[in-house]
Amino acid sequence: MIDITLFYIIAVPAVLVTGISKGGFGSGLGVLAVPSMALVISPVQAAGVMLPILCLMDLVGVWSYRRTWDMANMRIMVPAAIVGIVIGTLMFDYMNEQAIRLLIGTIALVFALDHWIGRRKTEPTGTSITKGGFWSAMAGFTSFVAHAGGPPVSVYLLPQRMDRTLFVGTTVVFFTAVNYAKLVPYWWLGQLEAGNLLTSLVLAPLAPVGVWLGIWLREKISPTVFYESCYVFLAIVGTKLVWDGWPF
């Protein structure tokens, strides 16, 4: 079990923010948890600690949104994400975490900037096997590496401009499937060893608190503010990941 005081000083707010994000804002800020913890421990260990906590959050979230999620998108997204997880598993020993962070952060920043200063689409987009498959596979891969699947999913789902509850519910159900699918390769690769699991257990009570806070905050925010907040979160996440991944 991790016994570094600084780790818990960082981990407690990181877990709460992740829960708030998953419960009310489509997982956008959840990507900050592993990079934050990685300031004290290795990114691989941080990912192993976070996965059981994410799975617990998913149980709370999927119950809350069990009747509000998009089946058409899910049929495209989940199989593609599994492919991304398999690729991540096979490439585990060869991956450069710094380059992956830079890639994810660049995608997130470009997408957010395009929304604010680029060509805005007046009509919402629909489901797409090509786009949904690509971004969901990317989400599966980046989620496997560092629980950083939020930006690729946002790139695909946000332009659809669906009802905010449907948007959050779809991301919650999607990441529930993704996170539980990751349990097998994480166990196989040794990331769920006893020390990591004990640390997860200590932090676990924060999981439902964060999700419920996110659900409560979502109801207090207007649709316009909600979506603009998602893009702001996406930009914050992108900036953080680019900073962490920059080679100089």
| Burial (Cβ within 10 Å: 0-12, 13-18, ≥19) of residue 106 | middle
**What pLDDT is attached to residue 121?**
57
**What pLDDT is attached to residue 216?**
87
Distance CA 164, CA 160 (A): 11
Q: Which two tokens stand for residue 213?
A: 């806070």
Q: What are phi and psi of 135, to 5 degrees?
A: -70, -30
Tens digit of each residue's pLDDT (9 = 90 or more) over 224-245: 776 677 678 778 877 887 888 7
**What pLDDT is attached to residue 29?**
64
Distance CA 242, CA 239 (A): 5
Give the chain's mean pLDDT. Answer: 85
Tally DSSP H helices, then E strands, for the chain.
11, 0
Alpha helices, DSSP H, located in 25-128: 33-37, 43-64, 71-90, 97-117
Q: What is the pTM of this model?
A: 0.81
Residue reference for tokens 């498959």: 133
Domain boundaries, the chain: 5-245
Tens digit of each residue's pLDDT (9 = 90 or more) over 31-61: 677 777 877 887 788 889 999 999 999 998 8
**What pLDDT is attached to residue 223?**
62
Taking Cα atoms as reference points, which of 148, 170, 207 lies closest to residue 75?
170
Distance CA 187, CA 231 (A): 34
Distances in whole angstroms, Cα of residue 194 to Cα of each of 8, 53, 110, 136, 184: 18, 14, 40, 31, 15
| Burial (Cβ within 10 Å: 0-12, 13-18, ≥19) of residue 21 | buried
Burial code of 144-180, b = ≥16 C-beta within 10 A, e = fewer?
Answer: bbbbbbbbbbbbbbbbbebebbbbbbbbbbbbbbbbe
Dihedral sign for Cα atoms in the order 71, 72, 75, 81: negative
Tens digit of each residue's pLDDT (9 = 90 or more) over 82-118: 999 999 999 888 877 777 778 767 877 877 787 677 6
Q: Which two tokens stand for residue 60?
A: 């709370």
